[in-house]
Structure 1
Amino acid sequence: MFPLILVYVVLTIIRPQDYVPGLDLVPILPVVLMLAFGAWLISRDKTFQAPQFIILPAFLLILMVSEVANGWTGGAVDELARFGPAVIAFFVLGAACSTQKRVRTAMTVFVICAAVLALHGIEQAKTGMGWTGIPIGEGGRIQYVGIFNDPNDLGLLFAATLPMAMFLGRPGAGAMRLVWLGAAALLLYGIFLTNSRGAMLAVLVVAGCYVWYRRGIAVAGVLGVIGLTVMKLLSSRMDELDAGEESAAGRVDAWYAGLEMFRDNPIFGVGAGNFTEYNELTAHNSFVLVIAETGFVGFVLWLAFVGYGFWMMLTIVRHVRVPGKDAAVEADWATERQMALTLLLSLCGLFASAFFLSRSYMIVMYLIAAMVAGHYVGARRRWPELPFFRLSDGGWRWVPAAMGTIAGFFVLVAVLLRTV
């Protein structure tokens, strides 16, 4: 099961089937996923011990219902085919990442795949063409094939995997430390080449959260201001970061359109994938996209799915244990917390980027979320004192959280529209 889902991750990110002659004739990606799912079905490692394993299928159901509610019954089948693979991949990878060794291996695969895409971008930047046959994008921004054809998506991947590279290159990694730190530098250079403002801000968020954790909010704030100033000097697009700038203004207008869609269809939204049927531009915000397309019901589920991931990793990071006399046990706990902090920072980078992109259904998001859920389930087995999250115990709290988030967006957009 674990090797198969890792092969699926590699095929999803590196995507040789999109540019190697002949591979496009075979549905290699769905075949590998179905083999991994079959292995999951007969595996003893199956787990449903995290709320996300209930929430994600329910969210898929709402995606299907949103199409039916908007008068397109056939759209339910399309949503099952479109989002179903993400649900399957989440279940399989989440069950597989139950040990520290497997989480570390999954991180290794993600970092290597992201580094390959960064190398492709460097070749593009130097020669104007990558080995995939994809030329460098408009404005000299690097891009890849398939789901990473947009430079912003590349930046999202690099920002999310950067903390993993740093974890793998931590002190004690031995001779491989320089390799992983080199990979981290490669990812940072890749973000620079994408010239993605969202990805650059995501790096700033990741660094700020880490400094906040280590040194406190005051130091993080000062370094954040310095970091933002440096980024504006390095990137012409960061220098244009202003609500009145054309691209930013278009985003605000799209957010406003999305909230109007929600106002008109508050329960199930306008239907999954239908945002651009009502507005020329996509939402440019993963939260607004879910609010508009799936309504309040869908947004509650999606917010809960995302929120539990952050909550779980914070729980491990903040958990206080009475130190024991067994040095090996204490070393295992230290590694557990480092992994949780790494995945927490990856989530910060992922969703900081997603705040400026319409990537609510992107497979990479759910693969990383699977690692998070799997790590927590495994951590509870190793450390039974960690709390068990149940929807029945506190799932209701996501309803007022969703209400507050939607209200916050209405206020934010109202303020931004007055500054354009």
Structure 2
Amino acid sequence: MFTLSLIYLALTIVRPQDFVPALEGIPLLPVVLLLAFAAWMIRAGKSFDAPQFLLLPVFLLVGMVSMVANHWFGGALALLESFGPIVIAFFVFAAACTTPRRVTIAMAVFVLCACVLAQHSIVQANTGTGWTGVPLGEDGRVRYVGIFNDPNDVGLLFAATLPMAFFLSSGGGFLRRLWWLAAAALLLYGVYLTNSRGAMLAVLVVGGIFVWQRRGMFTAGVLGVLGLVVMRLLSSRMQELDPDESSAFGRVDAWYEGMHMFFSNPLLGVGPGNFTDYNQLTAHNSWILVLAETGFLGYTLWLAFTSYGFWMMVTVMRHQPEAAGEPVRAGTWKSERAIAFTLLLSLYGLFAAAFFLSRSYTVVMYLLIALVVGHYMGARQRWPGVPLLRLTDHWMRWLAVSVASIVALYVITTILLIGS
């Protein structure tokens, strides 16, 4: 099952089925996912000790009900066909990655696949066309095939995998460290080539949180300001980072329209994928997109699903085995915490970019959260003192957080509109 999961991950990111003529029409992804799911089904001792295993299927169900409520019965089946495989992939990948070794291998596959896209970006930037046959975008920004045809999606992947590359470079001999540091440099250059403001800000967020943990808030703040200045010098699009800029104003206007879609359909929204039926541009914000399309019910489920990932990694990092009376072998708990911190940084990178993009349903997000869930469940098996997070203990909290975040999104949108 683990090997099949890694193959599915590689096919999802590198996507040879989208540019190799010999593979055209062959359902590689569905077949590999089906085989992995079959292996998961016959596996003994399945564990569902994570709230996401309930939240994600219910989120899918709410999305389907939303489609029906918006008078499109066929849309419910279309959503099941498009998002159902993501739910299955989440279950399988989370179950497959529960040991430090497997989590580390999965991170290595994430990084190597991202590096393939980064190398493609370099070729594309230098020649005008990548080896997939995909040319530069009209705005001169690099892109890939399939779900990574948008430069922002490519940048999001680079930002999310960058912490993994640095983690992989922290152990082993000189050549291994050099290899993964080179991979990190390649990913950083890839972010530059995408010219994605969201991805650049995500890298800044990741770096800031890392420095904050290591050197304190003051140092992180100073370096963050310097980093922002450097990014504005390097990127023409970062120099246009202003609410009055046409692209930024269009995004804020889309946020405003998304909030009004929610107000007109507060419980179930306008239906997944239907945002552009009501507004020319998509939401350009993953939170507002879910809120507008699935209403309060879907938004609360999605918010809890994604936020639990952060909570889980912080829970692992804060656990003290000695205080819980658990025997600690040399280096074992340090490794657990290092992995948890790396995955936490990846989550921050992913969602910092997703705040400016409509990527609420992208498979990469759910595979990363599956890796987080897998590490959390494995850590609890190895260290029983790690607290178990139960949805039944927190559902009132999520309702309150959901309401507060909706108010915050509305206030931010209103202020940006007034300021522009």
TM-score, structure 2 as length reference: 0.98
Partner of 1:377: 377
Counterparts of 1:172 and 1:214, CA distance in 2: 22
Q: Where does residue 386 of structure 1 map in the other structure? A: 386
Secondary structure at the counterpart of residue 21 of structure 2: coil
Aligned to 1:35: 35
1:205 equivalent in alignment to 2:209: no
Partners of 1:156 and 1:298 lie apart in 2 by 24
Is residue 340 from structure 1 mapped to residue 323 from structure 2 by the alignment?
A: no
Q: Which amino acid counterpart does residue 363 of structure 1 have in structure 2?
A: V
What is the CA deviation profile of residues 271-309 of structure 1, one whole-angstrom value per residue up to 9, with x for unaligned ones? 110000000000000000000000000000000001100
Q: Superposition pairs for residues 213-232 of structure 1, below 5 Å?
A: 213-232=213-232
Residue 150 (structure 1) aligns with: 150
Task: Quote the residue 1:136 is aligned against.
Answer: 136
- Residue equivalent to 1:262: 262
TM alignment of 1:227-266, pairs within 5 A: 227-266=227-266
Cα distance in 2 between the residues matched to 1:180 and 1:323 = 35
The C-alpha deviation readout for 1:108-163, integer Å capped at 9, x for no partner, is 10000000000000000111111100011123211000000000000000000000
User: What is the CA-CA distance between 1:326 and the residue it aligns to?
Assistant: 11
Structure 2 stretches of 5 or more lacking a match?
Answer: none
- For residues 324-353 of structure 1, give each alpha carbon's deviation from its aligned partner in whole angstroms, at most 9, with x where no partner exists: 999971401000000000000000000000
Structure 1: where are the runs of 5+ without partners?
none
**Residue 74, structure 1, aligned to residue 55, structure 2:** no
RMSD: 1.5
Contact 1:242 1:248 in 2 (8 A): yes
Corresponding residue of 1:368: 368
Work out the CA distance in 1 between the residues paired with 2:77 and 2:173: 47
Matching of residues 16-415 of structure 1 within 5 Å? 16-44=16-44, 46-322=46-322, 329-415=329-415
- Contact in 1 for aligned 2:50/2:373 (Cα 8 Å): yes
Opposite residue 150 of structure 2, the aligned amino acid is: D
User: How much identity, in percent, do the aligned residues show?
Assistant: 63
Q: Secondary structure at the match of 1:140?
A: coil
Distance 1:310 1:325 in 2: 25
1:215: Cα distance to partner? 1.5
Q: 1:279 to 1:173 in 2, by over 3 A?
A: farther
Q: CA deviation at 1:174?
A: 4.6
For 1:224 and 1:60, the matched residues in 2 are separated by 38
1:9 and 2:23 matched = no
Give distance in 1, aligned partners of 2:389 and 2:81: 30
Q: Which moved more, 1:366-375 or 1:164-173?
A: 164-173
Counterpart secondary structure, 1:409: helix
Q: Does the 8 Å CA contact 1:64/1:75 hold for their aligned counterparts?
A: yes
8 A contact 1:285–1:358 mirrored in 2:
yes
Give the C-alpha shift of residue 171 in structure 1.
4.2
State the 1:322 CA deviation: 2.4
Q: Secondary structure at the residue paired with 2:139? A: helix
Instruction: Compute the displacement of 1:96 (Å).
Output: 0.5
Whether the aligned pair in 1 keeps the contact of 2:321 and 2:327 (CA below 8 Å) is no
Q: What letter matches 2:54 in structure 1?
A: I
Aligned-partner residue type, residue 105 of structure 1: I
> How far apart, CA to CA, are the structure 2 residues paired with 1:309 and 1:358?
19
TM-aligned CA deviation for residue 175 of structure 1: 2.7
Residue by residue, what CA displacement relative to the aligned partner does 1:80-128 show, whole Å, maximum 9, x if unpaired? Answer: 0010011000000000111000000100100000000000000001111
Q: Note the C-alpha offset of 1:44.
A: 2.1
Mean CA deviation greater in 187-196 or 326-335:
326-335
2:167 counterpart letter in structure 1? F
Q: How far off its partner does 1:395 sit?
A: 2.3
Q: Match of 2:331, SS? A: helix
Paired AA for residue 44 in structure 1: A
State the alpha-carbon separation in 1 of the partners of residues 392 and 326 from structure 2.
36
2:66/2:294 contact within 8 Å kept = yes
Q: Give the Cα separation in 2 of the matches to 1:246 and 1:19.
A: 34
Equivalent pair of 1:323/1:330 in contact (CA under 8 Å) = no
Aligned-pair distance for 1:364?
A: 0.2
Q: Deviations over 1:24-53 (max 9, x none)?
A: 221111111011000000012532110001
SS in 1 for 2:118: helix
Q: What is the letter of the counterpart of residue 297 of structure 1? A: L
Return the letter of the residue paired with 2:235: S
* Local SS of the residue matching 1:139: coil
Q: 1:324 to 1:398 in 2, by over 3 A?
A: closer
CA contact (8 A) 1:45 1:95 kept: no
Q: Distance in 1 between matches of 2:379 and 2:326?
A: 18
Contact 1:324 / 1:330 at 8 angstroms: preserved in 2?
no
1:326–1:388 CA distance, 2 compared to 1 (3 A): closer
* Kept after mapping to 1: 8 A contact 2:321/2:385: no
1: CA distance, partners of 2:353 / 2:91: 24
CA distance in 2, matches of 1:341, 1:326: 21
Task: Provide the C-alpha distance between the structure 1 equivalents of 2:381 and 2:345, rounded to a whole number of angstroms.
Answer: 23
2:321 and 2:383 in contact (8 A); partners too: no
Deviation at 1:177, TM superposition (A): 0.9
